Chain A
Amino acid sequence: MQPRSELVHWLFAAGFLLLGLCLLAEAIVGTEVWRRRRWRAYLWPSLAFAIGLFLFPVMVFFASSTLHMLAHGAWAQVAMLAGATQLALVRGKLRSRWWTLAVSLALLVSGLAFLVHEQNPWLFSRSAFLHHTLGWTAIGAAVIPVGQTLRPRSPVWNGAFALVFVGFAVLLFCDRDIAPIFGHLSDVARASARP
């Protein structure tokens, strides 16, 4: 009854898509209007924290190697760290806006974990391609929270941050356990798919 790993990726993609839509809505209406209802202020930090929490069972039950386990563990921890600092900022327990840089750290660590644990080249399979793309996207996106820290109300930075999560969702939705990418599929990957 255990779902295949591609199904787990799709479920996380759905979570990221919801997160992206909420952040996009906040970028459109502005933080002041978004936080008029208290529960909405807690929405994105809670979702980030929950995504981190759910990554722990993924780490335990779906990691096919030690490297996979470490990567998923790193994502889980930094996602929870980012969610927790944002929750504390919204609640007023943390006051300095520089704590937003925890999100930068989370994206940077996530990106590095993607790149380090994917040992195959870009065109090995679709999964390998997506790992590389997700990794570099996360590393590039790490600059966005810096912009948000310097200009907290900028719709450009907030919109870009939201679109990063929509992008993550699209990439995760494209994932298949074994599939070609641009017509390329390594013989090794093809052989591993055979029962």
Chain B
Amino acid sequence: MSSSELAGELERSRGRTEQRSWRGLAIEALGLLTALAGLVWAVAQPYRITLLHPRGEGFWNLAVQPPLLVIAVGLLFAFLIAPGIVEDVEAAGRER
């Protein structure tokens, strides 16, 4: 293999690695950004978080509020679903 071919192969390999790491990063960010969006919503509309100032509300009104649900979904995705996907993205990259 000539030096120019080797350089080309290295360049392609670097491109694949960058693409893979971009994908892994995007997956990791997806859940955390969702949770962050929920947090920003909670700060912007604190009256939605009835848990902070309960006035005799029932379970549903305390627990089921949109910002809390968004945070819960974001964390669920970030900690239960995303790690496995990132592992598989990296494994697929190593196999290529």
- Decide whether A and B assemble into one complex: yes
B27 CB contact (under 8 Å) in A4, A25, A32, A173? A25
- Contact B84–A40 (Cβ < 8 Å): yes
CB contacts between A and B, total, < 8 Å? 71
- Contact B77–A173 (Cβ < 8 Å): no
Contacts of A1-22 to chain B: CB distance below 8 A: 1, 3-4, 7, 10-11, 13-14, 17-18, 21-22
A194 near B: Cβ within 8 Å? no
- Contact A3–B64 (Cβ < 8 Å): yes
- Contact B92–A28 (Cβ < 8 Å): no
- Contact A28–B73 (Cβ < 8 Å): no
Contacts of B47-91 to chain A: CB distance below 8 A: 58-61, 64-66, 69-70, 72-74, 76-77, 81-82, 84-85, 88-89, 91
- Contact A10–B66 (Cβ < 8 Å): yes
Residues of chain A contacted by B7 (CB below 8 angstroms): none
Complex: how many Å from CA A25 to CA B73?
Answer: 14
Which chain B residue has the least Cβ–Cβ distance from A174?
B66
- Contact B66–A18 (Cβ < 8 Å): no
B91 CB contact (under 8 Å) in A21, A24, A36? A36
B88 CB contact (under 8 Å) in A10, A13, A17, A36? A36
Shortest CB–CB separation between residue A12 and chain B, in angstroms?
Answer: 10
Residues of chain B contacted by A17 (CB below 8 angstroms): 34, 69-70, 73
Q: Which residues of B contact A (CB under 8 A)?
A: 23, 26-27, 30-31, 34, 58-61, 64-66, 69-70, 72-74, 76-77, 81-82, 84-85, 88-89, 91-92
- Provide a sorted-by-A list of 24 A–B residue pairs whose CB atoms are within 8 angstroms: A4-B60, A11-B69, A13-B69, A14-B69, A14-B72, A17-B69, A17-B70, A17-B73, A18-B73, A21-B30, A21-B34, A25-B27, A25-B82, A28-B26, A29-B23, A29-B85, A29-B88, A32-B92, A33-B85, A33-B88, A34-B88, A36-B91, A40-B81, A173-B69
